[in-house]
Amino acid sequence: MIATETRFEDARRAMIDSQLRTSGINEPFVLARMGAVPREDFVPEGQRAAAYADRAVRLPGGGALPAPVFHGLLLAEARPANTDHVLAVDGGSGYLPALLEPMVRALAVVSPEEAAAGRIGSNPSLVLIDGAVEHLPDALVRKLADGTRIVTGLVERGVTRLAVGRKTGGVLGLVALAETGVPRLAAFDREAGWSF
């Protein structure tokens, strides 16, 4: 058991040094949280060896644990504070809420389906989505107050990028930043329409 724990601790250190730092993620709070939360605890037993790979791990039931770089970028851009009321849209692993919990004032966790339908409960100051969305449905945007910040993955023409935004004047716009491979959340897909 001790050898296994040591192996995963080594894998966490390697993730920080060879994935996060080499991708320009050097914020001390990000490195500290990602070094403290064991990713292997958020995947099934048979997939624990892949928990620190530089790719997403698909989970039973259709969810995923995105690659470490996505979570590092997400946290670095969001800069969650101890004054934030955060809404975490969990992609199925529970890892993102575990990263956030000690850093913020309040944390609510919902599924992608609940968020897309606007069933989010209290009014967050920050929304973090643990995956990529094609769009943010009106049902969700209407529930957010002006000034609410959001950080998510965004799918544009088949490419996923980290995106940030803020609701202002009743409108929530997203600006795409770094390209990052992150699993798409089907609950945020646009409805298929006619095309010619």
Query: Quick check: helix, strand or coil at residue 109?
Result: strand
User: How far apart are alpha carbons 130 and 111 in whole angstroms?
Assistant: 10
What does the pLDDT read at residue 116?
Answer: 96
User: How far apart are alpha carbons 95 and 92 in whole angstroms?
Assistant: 8
Residues with pLDDT less than 50, the chain: none
Find out if CATH 3.40.50.720 is the number for domain 54-188.
no
pTM of full prediction above 0.85 = yes
Detail the DSSP E strand segments found in 33-170: 57-58, 64-65, 85-89, 106-110, 126-133, 149-156, 159-168
What does the pLDDT read at residue 4?
Answer: 63
The residue among 78, 10, 63 whose CA lies nearest residue 40 is: 10
User: How far apart are alpha carbons 8 and 190 in whole angstroms?
Assistant: 39
What does the pLDDT read at residue 61?
Answer: 87
What does the pLDDT read at residue 158?
Answer: 87
What does the pLDDT read at residue 195?
Answer: 53
Amino acid (one-letter) located at 189: D
Classify strands 106-110 and 85-89 as parallel, antiparallel or unpaired. parallel
What does the pLDDT read at residue 121?
Answer: 84
* 129 backbone dihedrals φ, ψ, rounded to 5°: -110, 125
- Residue 81 gets which letter from DSSP? -
The residue among 115, 114, 97, 118 whose CA lies nearest residue 106 is: 97
What does the pLDDT read at residue 2?
Answer: 59
